[in-house]
Amino acid sequence: MAKVVFLPNDEICPEGAVVEVEPGTTVLDAALAEGIEIEHACEKSCACTTCHVIVREGFDSLEESDELEDDMLDKAWGLEPESRLGCQAVVADEDLVVEIPRYTLNQVSEKH
């Protein structure tokens, strides 16, 4: 089992959370199983950026992103070198520390 530590996010998980998951679980599925409602507008099909997360620790344990994910990430708000789509980032056998960005493009567009 690996642990995914979700850092506090004011709106989605103010206290943060630690989730134990089996290797092969996506970061998004780990969050949803814990009741952390990360947006996933495309239903986990790698067709949007709403599940964008930043892997603060353990990034190198993830399989490399593919071209489709990279193309999607180029459109994400607050993109960082350790950014991944939660629906595509598969937990291996190393613990992860994950930050959920403050905004997604859907949230930004809804607030204007």
**63-111 residue pLDDT tens:** 999 999 999 999 998 999 999 999 999 999 999 999 999 876 654 444 4
Angle 30-104-11 (CA atoms, 0-180°, nearest 5)? 65
Structural domain count, the chain? 1
Domain enclosing residue 50, as ranges: 2-110
**Run of H or E including 97:** strand 96-99
Q: Which pLDDT does position 106 carry in this prediction?
A: 59
Predicted TM-score (pTM) of the model is: 0.91
CATH number of the CATH domain containing 27: 3.10.20.30
